[in-house]
Structure 1
Amino acid sequence: MDSIADMGGTQAWGPAQVPTDEPPFAEPWEGRSFALTVLTMGRISGRNLDAFRHALGRLHPIDYLVDGYYGRWLNAAELMLTDSRILAPGAVDARARRNRGEDVTEPPFPEPSRPDYKPTAAGSLREIDRDPVFAAGDAVRTKDMHPEGPTKLSGYLRRRSGTVTAIRPPHVLPDTHAVFEGENPQHVYTVGFSSTELWGPDAEPFTVHADLFESYLAKIPESEADQ
């Protein structure tokens, strides 16, 4: 799924503003949003960290940009609670309007339908019984992927050629883990891409390294790689 959260490599956003002496939370509500989201993620909604990231990616683009960092967290927490039928759609908005004195009927509480949450404190690294498909030095090309569900293959890296520079430990595949279709652990590879491959011949010369799952990659035949 292509979402507003996939902003890497895009242009026209202006320079990043880096505040100095930034407190952990600029406003008290941000700290409460952080705590509420962490609590919601596992204990209440039954959702995991990958599902939380998927919720962020499903937010309305305007809300994603306007509500700020912890506003996105709060909106994602509400979405996870709605996904698990802890809250009915529109329940938060209705309660807020009632608190402002409006005559609003709140939707009834639904019958919860929570996933079978398993704590992820042990981390996301796994051992698998198959050898890596690729080796350091292999020329690879990323696939042209536009799945309906989540993917960690950024848009600006798709259909691009690079070179495997390292093999990383196998890792749970977020694409399926986020929607509770299994962990599906895969080998992960660090792939180096030329800046000109990503942004054209006028780009400043440097190398971009990205850690990518095995299913995102295809090997470039030696005859084609030598051209």
Structure 2
Amino acid sequence: MTRAHDMGGRFGDGAVRPEPEDAPVFAEDWHARALAVTLAAGALGLWNIDMSRHARERLSPKDYVRFSYYEKWISALADLLVETGALTEDDLREAGPENTLSEKALTADKVARVLAKGGPADRKGGPAPRFAPGQAVRTRLPADNVLVSGGHSRLPRYVAGALGYVLRCHGNHVLPDSNAHRLGEAPEPLYAVRFSARALWAHPEHPDDEVVLDLWQSYLEPA
């Protein structure tokens, strides 16, 4: 699978240009509506956050590159609604009568309570930590999902095969590589791992810089 979304550390995409501090939260009115309808649809319980992320990644590379941030969101949402049977393509083209899902609608009076509840991904079950703080580890190479070919993974390509050092263990968390494909939560230890810029790039602009990534246990092996 071509991972057009995996842009971290990739050359040729230009500089990252942060928006000014006084920039509006939403550049256009429809951006706020795209966020709202995505959250409301997610509250139907037909998919999880990892499936939602994977839906954006599965947009065609051509569309992914040309779409704006919220165009990616709304396009992936349309795919999820059709894939899960919530709506048909005809429903998306033209508004029709209400269906049974309207009974589960996230109404305005429920929004604050639902958002405050959040969606914690830490879990009590799963394997014991394999690595300790200070231990040298090396990330999986290639940085692919080993459960599903071309599947979702939170391991960036730019760090694949790199040497790093464990800073801490966050406890067990839902494994996105499994959860994105309805294979279960499969919780496992999640670590903060420190990488030197020298370990990631041949000619880093600032060699003494460090990058800290949160990585699941199955992404790592002893160095």
TM range (shorter): 0.7 to 0.9
- Residue 203 of structure 1: how far off its partner (Å): 4.5
Deviation track 1:6-27 (CA, whole Å, cap 9, x = no partner) reads: 1111122212232322212222
Which SS does the other structure have where 2:76 is aligned? Answer: helix
- 1:210 corresponds in structure 2 to 213
Contact 2:138 2:220 in 1 (8 A): yes
The TM-score, its normalising length taken from structure 1, stands at 0.78
- Residue 122 of structure 1: how far off its partner (Å): 4.8
Matches of 1:77 and 1:122 in 2, distance apart? Answer: 18
Deviation track 1:165-215 (CA, whole Å, cap 9, x = no partner) reads: 211121111111111111111111111111111101555212111110000
Contact 2:126 2:188 in 1 (8 A): no
- 2:155 corresponds in structure 1 to 153
- Residue 91 of structure 1: how far off its partner (Å): 6.2
Matches of 1:59 and 1:173 in 2, distance apart? Answer: 22
Contact 1:135 1:166 in 2 (8 A): yes
1:175 aligns with 2:177: yes
- 2:105 corresponds in structure 1 to none
Q: Aligned Cα RMSD in Å?
A: 2.5
- Residue 85 of structure 1: how far off its partner (Å): 2.3
Structure 1, unmatched stretches of 5+, are 100-111, 113-118, 221-227
1:41 aligns with 2:7: no
Identity percentage of aligned residues: 35
- 1:125 corresponds in structure 2 to 122
Correspondence list, 1:22-61, <5 A: 22-43=23-44, 46-61=46-61
Correspondence list, 1:60-209, <5 A: 60-88=60-88, 92=92, 95=93, 121-128=118-125, 130-144=127-141, 145-147=143-145, 148=149, 149-201=151-203, 203-205=205-207, 206-209=209-212
Distance 1:202 1:55, change over 3 A: closer
- Residue 70 of structure 1: how far off its partner (Å): 0.9
- Residue 72 of structure 1: how far off its partner (Å): 0.8
Query: How many equivalent pairs are there?
Result: 198
Which SS does the other structure have where 1:209 is aligned? Answer: strand
**Structure of higher CA gyration radius:** 1
Contact 2:162 2:199 in 1 (8 A): yes
Q: Which amino acid aligns with 1:167?
A: C
Contact 2:126 2:187 in 1 (8 A): no
Structure 2, unmatched stretches of 5+, are 96-100, 102-113
- Residue 159 of structure 1: how far off its partner (Å): 1.0
Which SS does the other structure have where 2:138 is aligned? Answer: strand
